[in-house]
């Protein structure tokens, strides 16, 4: 590995990056080496591992430099995607080398967390990433949304949101997600090209979603982002399923407005699919829950980049508390060891403290889950992911790291 160099993708290899992407994730599209493909937007920063004896990179990846709201505070994070080695270079240790270089760069750039959507959870778990959310996917006959139409008194109006007006939804998005964690902050390009990206199946990525909002006066109160899926038989133009990818709302009335809007499509679609964060609000509204299927899907994975930096910058409850943590991190040696976290009226300071006795033992993946709020202290203790060594209690840990719902519905 001494002959491998990690660096930005060379200008003459940007087309090659697209070929690597297509072969790894959309091989059913066929060979695109001689065709013109639209660039992903935002494009992100591309990196590659170059062997000194080879002209082309042996593995590549893409970085997004993002900000995310974690525990009511904005944090700089890194979004890692497009991690690829072509078949002739696989199983040679290039991907672990690439991931190590990525973490080094994130550390240098002061990124507190690294986020990715995995092709396989087991693979990235071995490098310290851990699952950070579940999504609920509700499916059923669209007729089972009729309750919303019956309960909803419409004193507003629905409006189609065009691409140039997506930032109108920022306030309702922020309000809806204000008490949730790991919420990526969105500018207009992120709204257009990632949240509202084209979607499809089998390599056909040409289904641009519809975006509608419900207004009272001139203020949006809720919105939904959705596409249609063709009926399986494909014999007519009637859509099989109304597929809702994201909903946000400021009240139960606004949620009923969204569900009523979905029901209004009963002449076009037979079924609905709703993807939402792992909360009970929507399920409690259904009047026929036994006729609706709920599927739980794993979400993205998260990893602390630099423990001392990230834990020092987290926002804590207004308490005074010291805790010493023994962390195991076999992939990023700067996180491996014993650290003390001092909290003074909600402000944290974390530093290495190798000669202290640890209050808890925890691995980097479990600590990452605890830090963003996805797993509670009790869950980690009960699953043997965290061990208490002293007088400190689960309640003490829970006060420092209260559990939060993670909100992340779209890929990047």
Sequence-distant (≥ 6) Cβ neighbours of residue 201 within 8 angstroms:
none
CA angle 106, 111, 115 (to 5 degrees): 85
pLDDT band at 28 (very low <50, low <70, confident <90, very high): low
Average pLDDT over residues 392-401: 94
Cβ distance 379 to 319 under 8 Å? Answer: no
- Alpha-carbon gap, residue 146 to 150, rounded angstroms: 6
Are the folds of 4-111 and 135-298 the same? yes
Structure tokens at 73: 């505070």
Using DSSP, state whether 260 is helix, strand or coil: helix
DSSP type of residue 133: -
How sure is the predictor about 408, in pLDDT bands with cuts at 50, 70 and 90? confident
Strand order, beta sheet including 347-352: 347-352, 337-344, 320-328, 360-363, 386-388
Where does the pLDDT of residue 18 fall: very low under 50, low under 70, confident under 90, or very high at 90 and above?
A: confident
Vertex 368: Cα angle to 45 and 132 (nearest 5): 75
Helices vs strands, H then E, count in the chain? 12, 20
Tokens standing for residue 51: 């062997």
- Residue 206 pLDDT: 56
What is the third-level CATH fold of 306-400?
Nonspecific Lipid-transfer Protein; Chain A (3.30.1050)
Boundaries of every domain in the chain: 4-111, 135-298, 306-400
What's the pLDDT band for 384 if we cut at 50, 70, 90? very high
pLDDT(36) > 80: no
pLDDT tens for each residue of 310-343: 999 999 999 999 999 999 999 999 999 999 999 9
User: pLDDT confidence of 23, banded at 50, 70, 90?
Assistant: low
Q: pLDDT digits over 279-317, tens only?
A: 878 889 999 999 999 999 999 999 999 999 999 999 999
Beta bridge partners of 217: none
What pTM value is reported for the model?
0.88
Q: Which CATH architecture has domain 4-111?
A: 3-Layer(aba) Sandwich (3.40)
CA distance 177 to 68: 11
Mean pLDDT in the chain?
A: 89
Distance separating alpha carbons of residues 318 and 299, to the nearest angstrom: 30
Q: Would you list the DSSP string of 261-292?
A: HHHTTTTTEEEEEEEEES-SHHHHH-S-GGGS
Region of poorest pLDDT, from 7-11, 333-337, 344-348: 7-11
Token couple for 114: 């690294």
Q: What is the pLDDT of residue 203?
A: 40
Q: Which residue has the higher pLDDT, 274 or 88?
A: 274
Average of per-residue pLDDT across 108-118:
97
19's tokens? 């070929």
Quick one: average pLDDT of 105-119? 97
User: Among candidates 82, 100, 85, which has minimal Cα distance to 50?
Assistant: 85
Would the pLDDT of 68 be above 70? yes
pLDDT above 70: percentage of residues in the chain: 90
Q: 212: which residues sit within 8 A by CB, 6+ positions away?
A: 158, 159, 160, 161, 223, 224, 226, 261
Cβ proximity of 114 and 105 under 8 Å: no
Q: Which CATH number fits domain 135-298: 3.40.50.300, 3.40.710.10, 3.10.20.30, 3.40.630.30?
A: 3.40.630.30
- Average the pLDDT over each of 7-11, 79-83, 270-274, 382-386 and give the range with the smallest value: 7-11
Q: What is the mean pLDDT of the segment spanning 134-146?
A: 95
HSE-CB at 261 with a 13 A cutoff on CA atoms is 27
Report pLDDT digits (tens) over 168-217.
Answer: 999 999 999 888 899 999 999 899 888 988 765 544 445 789 999 999 99
């Amino acid at each position: 590995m001494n002959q491998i160099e990690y660096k930005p993708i060379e200008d003459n290899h940007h087309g090659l990056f697209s070929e690597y992407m297509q072969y790894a994730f959309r091989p059913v599209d066929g060979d695109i080496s001689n065709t013109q493909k639209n660039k992903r937007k935002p494009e992100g920063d591309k990196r590659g591992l170059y062997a000194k004896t080879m002209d082309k990179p042996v593995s590549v990846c893409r970085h997004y430099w993002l900000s995310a709201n974690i525990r009511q505070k904005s944090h700089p994070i890194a979004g890692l995607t497009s991690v690829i080695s072509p078949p002739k270079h696989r199983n040679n240790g290039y991907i672990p080398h690439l991931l190590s270089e990525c973490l080094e760069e994130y550390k240098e750039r002061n990124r507190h967390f690294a986020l990715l959507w995995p092709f396989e959870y087991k693979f990235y778990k071995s490098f310290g990433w851990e699952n950070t959310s579940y999504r609920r996917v509700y499916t059923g006959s669209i007729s089972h949304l009729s309750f919303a139409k019956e309960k909803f008194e419409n004193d507003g109006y629905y409006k189609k949101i065009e691409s140039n007006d997506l930032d109108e939804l920022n306030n309702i998005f922020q309000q809806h997600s204000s008490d949730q964690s790991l919420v990526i902050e969105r500018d207009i390009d992120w709204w257009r090209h990632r949240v509202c990206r084209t979607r499809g199946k089998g390599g056909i990525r040409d289904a641009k979603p519809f975006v509608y909002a419900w207004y009272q006066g001139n203020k949006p109160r809720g919105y939904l982002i959705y596409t249609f899926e063709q009926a399986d038989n494909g014999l007519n133009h009637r859509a099989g399923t109304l597929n809702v990818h994201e909903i946000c709302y400021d009240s139960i009335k606004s949620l009923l407005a969204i569900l009523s809007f979905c029901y209004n499509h009963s002449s076009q679609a037979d079924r609905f699919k709703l993807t939402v964060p792992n909360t009970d609000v929507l399920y409690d509204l259904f009047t026929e829950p036994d006729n609706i299927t709920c599927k739980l899907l794993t979400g993205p994975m998260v990893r602390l980049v630099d423990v001392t930096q990230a834990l020092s910058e987290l926002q804590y409850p207004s308490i005074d508390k010291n805790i010493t943590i023994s962390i195991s991190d076999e992939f990023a040696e700067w996180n491996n060891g014993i650290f003390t976290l001092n909290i003074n009226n909600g402000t944290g300071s974390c530093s290495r403290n190798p000669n202290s006795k640890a209050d808890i033992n925890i691995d980097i993946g479990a600590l990452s889950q605890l830090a963003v709020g996805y797993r509670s202290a009790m869950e980690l203790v009960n699953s043997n992911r965290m061990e208490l060594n002293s007088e400190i209690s689960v309640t003490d840990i829970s006060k420092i790291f209260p559990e939060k719902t993670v909100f992340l519905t779209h890929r990047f």
